[in-house]
Chains A and B, each alone.
Chain A
Amino acid sequence: AQKVTQAQTEISVVEKEDVTLDCVYETRDTTYYLFWYKQPPSGELVFLIRRNSFDEQNEISGRYSWNFQKSTSSFNFTITASQVVDSAVYFCALSGDFPNFGNEKLTFGTGTRLTIIP
């Protein structure tokens, strides 16, 4: 069975501070995919990143960066120089291998509510 744990329920930081959101996963699949989604108050899930299990390179996109470590089964997300617009709930998610349809179902963590204080 797949499981995603986001231990941080809520985080508040002052604007311009850096913040890291933690994600730990469990899976028996040898090939899998990890995701981060942002859910602003409007409700829509916004895709941020996908990482497959064979690619452990860290990725940076503007103020966002992701640290994938298979050894600790973690896929952490860092926002540098946070802004008020970053306030949202952030979900980490996991899916299985393709092309076996059905394994692409997403298993979500419980989310971390991030509040950026002006």
Chain B
Amino acid sequence: DAMVIQNPRYQVTQFGKPVTLSCSQTLNHNVMYWYQQKSSQAPKLLFHYYDKDFNNEADTPDNFQSRRPNTSFCFLDIRSPGLGDAAMYLCATSRDQAGSYNEQFFGPGTRLTVL
């Protein structure tokens, strides 16, 4: 089945130690999104890629970076995780197709713990 895959599902890192979360998709969608969801809060968009074009939300901290080496994969890099970065990170994809609404499909998320 076509889907959005996130690995790992659970990630533990140490304060200040760089960490990378990965997302892959078999939907062949050209748009990929990263959301941060803290406990009991709504998902918050960090950035998205439209093909190779990177779009950063204005309030996304510089500590967060992203890479999209090809259509299928997208990575979220946290350069120096702080305790406040502990959250669920959700990846989503959508297909940009003129004339129709482009629904977002979400992966299962990676829950990041910072010690």
Contact = CB atoms under 8 A, between A and B. Distances in A.
A105 B34 CA distance: 11
Contact of A105 (B40, B41, B48, B100): B48
Q: How large is the interface on B (under 10, 10 to 19, 20 to 34, 35 or more residues)?
A: 20 to 34
* Residue picked from B31, B102, B111, most chain A C-beta under 10 Å: B102
Q: Could you say which interface size class chain A belongs to?
A: 20 to 34
Q: Which of B42, B55, B88, B105 has the most CB of A within 10 A?
A: B42
Contacts, number: 55
Interface of A is mostly: loop
Contacts of B105: 47
A98 B102 contact: yes
Contact of B103 (A46, A50, A110, A113): A50
Interface of A: 33, 37, 42-47, 50, 52, 91, 98-99, 101-102, 104-106, 108-111, 113
Interface of B: 31, 40-45, 48, 50, 55, 88, 90, 92, 94, 96, 98-109, 111
